[in-house]
Structure 1
Amino acid sequence: MFQDQISSEFSENIVIKLRFWLRQILQTPCYLALSLIFLIALIGPWFVGDPLALSAGPRLTGPTPTSPFGTDQYGMDILSRIVNGARIDLFAALSAASLAAAVGMPLGAFAAYRGGVWDQVMLRTSESFQAFPVLILAMGAIAALGSSMLNMILVIALVNVPVYIRLTRSAVMPLREKDFVLAARCAGLTDWKILRRHILPNVAPVVLAQFSVNCAWAIQILAALSFVGLGVKLPTPEWGAMVRGGSDYILYGQWWVSVFPGLAILLTVLTLNQVADRIGQSRK
């Protein structure tokens, strides 16, 4: 009987939280737009066909009712390639941002909490990395390691780790002497338990906003690497590679080959930045 009551209360809490988030999504345009983008990436490829299928008709045809975004220089449907490319770009962005946060948050929190030499080492190392443009670091690393998707995810994550270290450090510093932290110390909790249970949950909203920004950065870096020839190569349906592949045809009037993938990058990055702004405003 007691277990049934606990199970019922747990189910009610889940339903309440789901209703809350659904209401937030429906009432906030940027959340709704981001949800739509992820929905397209998740189930869209099932409805638009094979992105590598070659058209039997002429190549570089403009937008038509049967092919709303036209076809590219290989005769492939651009709409299908953009929808399938959303899955590739968003997966890479989420993976890179998640890995950067998973590494940078604990390092920054521990540096701020312990202070001393460890704090100075983390701070100076982060500053050394951030002295160079992120894209230049990424280009150098990819040129040395190779342009596989795994390497690009790891490199994008690596160049963003210092951002999380410095952000988490600055958020944790004011919390070190708070009453709830001092009480946890008096209770005999270890440093890592205090960080995990009491400090990191309090800096999560700050990191969540940065996470959304980092996803936008990751998409831009991935597209830039592909555009300069260091990233994904055609015919893989990646947005940056598609922009690069169509850039040669703009002057000849076939603007749709690169414009539509570019718009996909633009709208996704703008949406992620708007979500980050919204998260930041909700904290005030």
Structure 2
Amino acid sequence: MKISSTALKAKRSCASGYRWFARRFTSPTEYQALIDALVADGRVDDACWLLDQFGPVKSVLVVDAISAHAFVYAGSVQVRGEVDVDTVLRTGGSLNAGGSIRAGNTVWIGNDLHAGAGLRTLGSLRTGGNLVSSWSVEVQGALTCGGDLRVRGALACGAALRGEGSAVVAEDLEVDGMIHCAKSLQVGGHLACTEGLRAGHGIQVGQSIRSGMHIDAGWGIVAGSDITGDGAIRAGESIVSGGSVRAGAGFSLYAGLSARRDAWPSCGRVVSRARPENLLSGFWDGVPFGVSA
């Protein structure tokens, strides 16, 4: 695909970008060659705008490693080793790296993202598909995942976490903001967020759950230790804790919201070491989690 001045004008490019193109090119230019020229001239925002306007391509770039100030590619990228980018990392398709991925600013991957080691960005992270990391992930901005999320270490986000599929984090999950998971959420260690916690399906955590606002699960909630929210705690089915279950001051606890009331003893149980205050729905069972009745 070639990009012409007529196509840029039809997309209503900015005057500065149009003048830059007119000075550099006298005829239509290959899409990726134009992106490369923009990045080389420090016009990374313009390169990303071009990708927004003309979309991804099917080409696949295969390299040993990436080390650059900024990197923008319209297709998919396969990297045998590490990816190290000082500012923006952007692809139209997928990114598969055999080693770690580091970026000093935004990471935006159009499809799946796979990191063979850790992943760290000082900005936000966005994927159009699945996100898989074979080690820990640190995102200082928001994280938006368009598919399933799989992290084999810990996951820390400096802003909201939103996933359109299910999420599995092997160790701790810590988010300075809200967590919204469209399907199930599974965490091997502790889960903590400063705002609300919501999962369309169930929430399963190996240690404690701590939310700065409401906790909502379409199915059940299971935690190996305390479940604490500064707002209400609501579950479509059972709530099972190896410690206590505490809603915020003035708020209440609701289990079995998706079950018939006569089914609460099996589908709306609340298991905790002490009966939770302000339990408005569900059947409290005082048997501690992990101990047979």
TM bracket (short chain): under 0.3
Q: Which has the higher helix share?
A: 1
Report which of the two has the higher share of strand.
Answer: 2
Q: Which has the higher contact order (CA 8 A, sep 6+)?
A: 1
TM-score normalised over the length of structure 1: 0.17
